């Protein structure tokens, strides 16, 4: 079909032909890369096109406009569908579609929010996209409660597939979405009944509609390849009140293909060249032109742009008018611009557990930092988030101003939902025991990949939690978290340093994992910080050696006091100076200039040891292969903390004896 032929079509015919052109872009992109997913993108295209053409509210000139509707492609493998739509919106050049899955392109195999304009969330691992969308819808409701519904009135839309629904993280998040009554969340379930390995019926016979009704969702079932039915369903979903909506679209895998409709072979592979040629002929696309999209078709899609731009202008006027109120202006800066206000933090220079210090810091932040929300995985008293809850109240379907989020025992959904809230613009935290970080590790990884500042709070950070035993005592967790690129693992040594870690995390644009103690810790960092230390350097000299430096001890968290005591013991017994280096964040220390790192850890001093009540893995890069790593390289035991301290050799005398060979 030529451009002139397109111009002569009726409007419904133009809608269909433009949808066909999108299918052509998908086929060509996947074929050009020689990898990717065609079938699911074809079955989802009618919903996606209808949404972007008729309903999605956005600014064509600013993909980060605050009040835009959010669209999350939870079925991230269908990325060529999203990239094609982003090109129609004007956010991506055609050249980027041609570079699909190539090094350095803005069109990677799965959508990446930190990389590609218009992508709201990184959605590779299935189930997390819809979960982050729940967080976005939740954050939107909270923001609207404080800024007003004239300023925040966006919808959150999702396309998910069978794989998403099968992931438990999605089910836990959807339970919460129904419980919270997130009625501006609209999910399209592309029920094409095909997965990589074949038909979904091989592994699942769940009544999805009944399941979501039980989750308190509004459920609509339609022919998902009928654009009129899709349009009506979206309108019905937007008129729904009090419940999120799932539109179950019964679709056909690879719908529109010449001979391969319904085939699982279209899921994760390019279509054969002959199939592409035959399909293009069927869809009235020139078979001899790759990435064909006539200007007239592009202009047809963009005919809403003037109205969308006017909508943005009207919104700006609303904000400007409301900003005459100083309180609104301050809140808008927090929610829409990410400004962290001044917070009056308490003096924590006293003996206390760092989890207790965290609780006091949370309460202080609650007073002035309104764009700050989060909760605990049913561990409020243990995580010390109860005071925050008492101040700000639970978020409920009736109370959208509540900023304490009741997640229940759902660690992984909590991690993904807080990521979604963070992506929307609310500073977010989720708290649990450190031993349960494994449950949400995939969400931590996506936070790090997306370069967002989600706060992951972990209390009970070592064997010192005591009698609960090895199932609850983290051993390998801290070093394993340090392996995640771009994640900052913070383990403060006392209450005062917890305050510095907390303040750093509030301002951080990178995700942080705060590892906090159950047991009380004596204040040990005051003297150093009184002379102007900087937590942001990650590691520093806490105790300078008496005399000529001969030994360096490196410690974190609760073991810093132990290192200080051991240093005194060693100086008395060995007759050489012992330096104690506090390393609250290895990642930040590693990023310091070599000159600073060498100042703290002089290369000429080979006699070194690390002390941390965790697996010793990872410390040898600081202490060298000849150094001594003191830690816990087995699972824990169920016993009082004092007994465990002796059992694992973590007393002053036992550590000093272990270091006799230095």
Residue 329 domain-assigned (yes or no): no
DSSP designation for 554: E
Rounded distance between C-alpha atoms, residue 183 and residue 220, angstroms: 14
CA-nearest of 353, 239, 352, 308 to 88 is: 308
**Is there a contact between 164 and 129 (Cβ–Cβ < 8 Å)?**
yes
Pair 507, 535 in one domain: no
Q: Does 286 appear as a known binding residue?
A: no
Is 411 among the residues known to form the active site?
A: yes
Q: Does 469 appear as a known binding residue?
A: no
Pair 379, 240 in one domain: no
Pair 255, 127 in one domain: yes
Q: Does 460 appear as a known binding residue?
A: yes
CA-nearest of 349, 318, 351, 311 to 332 is: 318
pLDDT given at position 579: 97
- Coil, helix or strand at residue 156: strand
Label each residue of 220-279 as H, E or C. Answer: EEEECCCHHHHHHHHHHHHHCCCCCEEEEEECCCCCCCCCCCCCHHHCCCCCCHHHHHHH
Residue 559 domain-assigned (yes or no): yes
How is the beta sheet containing 608-611 ordered, strand by strand? 540-543, 577-582, 549-555, 608-611, 628-630
pLDDT in tens, 267-309: 888 999 999 999 999 999 999 999 999 999 999 999 999 999 9
Q: Does 194 appear as a known binding residue?
A: yes
Residue 224 domain-assigned (yes or no): yes
- What is the residue range of 559's domain? 529-658
Residue 313 domain-assigned (yes or no): no
pLDDT given at position 278: 97
pLDDT given at position 659: 94
Q: Does 163 appear as a known binding residue?
A: yes
pLDDT given at position 532: 43
Q: Across-strand partners of 489?
A: 513
Q: Does 215 appear as a known binding residue?
A: no
Report percent pLDDT > 70 for the chain. Answer: 98
Pair 470, 541 in one domain: no
pLDDT in tens, 125-169: 999 999 999 999 999 999 999 999 999 999 999 999 999 999 999
Residue 347 domain-assigned (yes or no): no
The sign of the dihedral angle between the CA atoms of 192, 194, 195, 199 is positive
Q: Does 468 appear as a known binding residue?
A: yes
Residue 429 domain-assigned (yes or no): yes
Pair 426, 503 in one domain: yes
Q: Of 521, 551, 578, which residue constitutes the final position of a domain?
A: 521
Pair 533, 511 in one domain: no
Q: Of 278, 306, 334, which residue constitutes the final position of a domain?
A: 306
Pair 550, 515 in one domain: no
Residues (pLDDT < 50) of the chain are: 531-532
Q: Does 125 appear as a known binding residue?
A: yes
Q: How many domains does the chain have?
A: 3
Pair 298, 246 in one domain: yes
Q: Does 267 appear as a known binding residue?
A: yes
Of 120, 167, 275, 411, which residue is the catalytic one?
411
Rounded distance between C-alpha atoms, residue 618 and residue 432, angstroms: 24
Residue 393 domain-assigned (yes or no): yes
Rounded distance between C-alpha atoms, residue 652 and residue 656, angstroms: 6
Pair 470, 577 in one domain: no
Residue 335 domain-assigned (yes or no): no
Q: Does 126 appear as a known binding residue?
A: yes
CA-nearest of 240, 235, 291, 298 to 50 is: 235
Q: Does 192 appear as a known binding residue?
A: yes
pTM of the model: 0.97
Pair 500, 578 in one domain: no
**Is there a contact between 453 and 374 (Cβ–Cβ < 8 Å)?**
no
Tokens representing residue 462 in the block: 């070592």
Q: Does 436 appear as a known binding residue?
A: yes
**Is there a contact between 185 and 244 (Cβ–Cβ < 8 Å)?**
yes
**Is there a contact between 92 and 106 (Cβ–Cβ < 8 Å)?**
yes
Q: Does 124 appear as a known binding residue?
A: yes
**Is there a contact between 267 and 195 (Cβ–Cβ < 8 Å)?**
yes
Q: Does 235 appear as a known binding residue?
A: no
Q: Of 521, 551, 586, which residue constitutes the final position of a domain?
A: 521
Pair 194, 92 in one domain: yes
pLDDT given at position 533: 57
Parallel, antiparallel, or unpaired for β 549-555 and 577-582?
parallel
Residue 102, C-beta contacts closer than 8 angstroms, at least 6 positions apart? 33
Rg, Å, the chain Cα set = 28
Pair 540, 642 in one domain: yes
CA-nearest of 543, 546, 436 to 493 is: 543
pLDDT given at position 3: 59
| Phi, then psi, of 338 in degrees rounded to 5 | 70, 25
**Is there a contact between 361 and 498 (Cβ–Cβ < 8 Å)?**
yes
Rounded distance between C-alpha atoms, residue 24 and residue 489, angstroms: 46
Cα separation of the two ends of the chain: 80
Q: Look up the CATH number of the domain holding residue 557.
A: 3.40.50.920
Q: Look up the CATH number of the domain holding residue 264.
A: 3.40.50.970
């Amino acid at each position: 079909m030529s451009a002139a032929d397109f111009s002569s079509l009726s409007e419904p015919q133009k809608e269909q032909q433009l949808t066909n052109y999108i299918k052509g872009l998908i086929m060509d992109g996947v074929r050009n890369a020689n990898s990717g997913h065609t079938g699911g993108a074809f079955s989802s295209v009618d919903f996606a096109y209808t949404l972007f053409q008729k309903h999605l509210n956005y600014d064509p000139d600013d993909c980060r406009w605050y009040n835009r509707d959010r669209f999350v492609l939870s079925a991230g493998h269908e990325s060529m569908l999203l990239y094609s739509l982003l090109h129609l919106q004007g956010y991506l050049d055609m050249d980027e579609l041609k570079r699909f899955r190539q090094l350095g392109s803005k069109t990677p195999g799965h959508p990446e929010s930190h990389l590609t304009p218009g992508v709201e969330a990184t959605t590779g691992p299935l189930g997390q996209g819809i979960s982050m969308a729940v967080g976005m819808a939740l954050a939107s409701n909270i923001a609207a409660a404080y800024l007003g519904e004239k300023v925040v009135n966006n919808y959150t839309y999702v396309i998910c597939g069978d794989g998403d629904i099968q992931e438990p993280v999605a089910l836990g998040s959807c339970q919460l979405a129904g419980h919270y009554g997130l009625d501006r969340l609209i999910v399209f379930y592309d029920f094409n009944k095909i997965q990589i390995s074949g038909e979904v019926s091989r592994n699942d016979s769940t009544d999805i509609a009944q399941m979501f009704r039980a989750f308190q969702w509004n459920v609509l079932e339609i022919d998902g390849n009928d654009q009129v039915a899709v349009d009506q369903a979206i309108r019905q979903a937007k008129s729904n009140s009090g419940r999120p909506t799932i539109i179950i679209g019964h679709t056909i895998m690879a719908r529109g293909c010449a001979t391969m409709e319904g085939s699982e072979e279209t899921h994760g592979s390019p279509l054969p060249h002959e199939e592409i040629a035959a399909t293009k002929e069927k869809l009235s696309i020139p078979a001899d032109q790759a990435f064909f999209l006539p200007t007239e078709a592009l202009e047809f899609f963009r005919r809403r742009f003037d109205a969308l731009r006017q909508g943005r202008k009207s919104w700006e006027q609303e904000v400007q008018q409301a900003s005459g109120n100083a309180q609104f202006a301050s809140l808008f800066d927090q929610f829409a611009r990410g400004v962290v206000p001044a917070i009056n933090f308490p003096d924590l220079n006293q003996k206390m557990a760092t989890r207790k210090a965290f609780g006091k810091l949370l309460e202080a932040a609650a007073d002035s930092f309104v764009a700050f929300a989060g909760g605990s995985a049913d561990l409020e008293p243990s995580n010390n988030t109860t005071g925050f809850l008492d101040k700000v109240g639970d978020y409920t379907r009736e109370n959208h101003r509540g900023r304490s989020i009741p997640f229940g025992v759902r660690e992984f959904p909590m991690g993904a939902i807080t990521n979604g809230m963070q992506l929307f613009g609310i500073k977010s935290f989720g708290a649990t025991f450190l031993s349960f970080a494994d449950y949400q590790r995939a969400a931590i990884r996506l936070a790090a990949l997306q370069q967002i500042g989600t706060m992951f709070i972990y209390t009970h950070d070592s064997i010192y939690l005591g009698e609960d035993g090895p199932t609850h005592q983290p051993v390998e967790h801290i070093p394993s978290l340090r392996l995640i690129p771009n994640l900052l693992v913070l383990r403060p040594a006392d209450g005062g340093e917890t305050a510095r870690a907390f303040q750093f995390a509030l301002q951080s644009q990178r995700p942080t994992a705060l590892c906090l103690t159950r047991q009380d810790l004596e204040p040990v960092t005051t003297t150093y910080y009184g002379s102007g230390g900087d937590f942001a350097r990650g590691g520093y000299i806490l105790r300078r050696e008496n005399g000529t430096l001969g030994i360096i001890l490196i410690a974190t968290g609760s073991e810093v006091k132990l290192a200080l005591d051991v240093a005194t013991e060693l100086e008395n017994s060995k007759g050489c100076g012992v330096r104690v280096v506090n390393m609250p964040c290895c990642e930040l220390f590693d990023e310091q200039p070599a000159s600073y790192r060498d100042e703290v850890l002089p290369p000429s001093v080979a006699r070194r040891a690390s002390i941390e009540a965790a697996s010793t893995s990872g410390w040898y890069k600081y202490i060298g292969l000849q150094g001594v790593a003191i830690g816990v390289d087995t699972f824990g035991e169920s016993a009082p903390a004092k007994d465990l301290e002796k059992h694992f050799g973590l007393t002053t005398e036992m550590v000093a004896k272990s270091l006799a060979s230095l």
